[in-house]
Structure 1
């Protein structure tokens, strides 16, 4: 790993929050655009896991009698 990646991995949440808070609005937008692009690539590639269907509860499958 290079030094930049290693430093990000060892950075605490609090340090990361401070660093992100100090960024300009345009820098934050650039980060969001990169995250969105990455998300779209993952979605298109089929690598993103789809949530398993939750089993129906018995109360939802029974007929309701009036």
Structure 2
């Protein structure tokens, strides 16, 4: 997914993170901070696999926001 844009990249990333969120929800109760760290680590690994598509999209959105 190189050079993908906008909503497509976001949707693809959400689809890839979704199973991790389901697994995390089914785990026995953990301290909130631990669960958030686990989720952020999984999300970060998905972003690495997606060649930073979401990061590129977010930076474009923030630049547009700063211009307006």
Query: Normalised by the shorter chain, which TM-score bucket?
Result: 0.3 to 0.5
Q: Give the helix-richer structure, 1 or 2.
A: 2
* The structure with more radius of gyration: 1
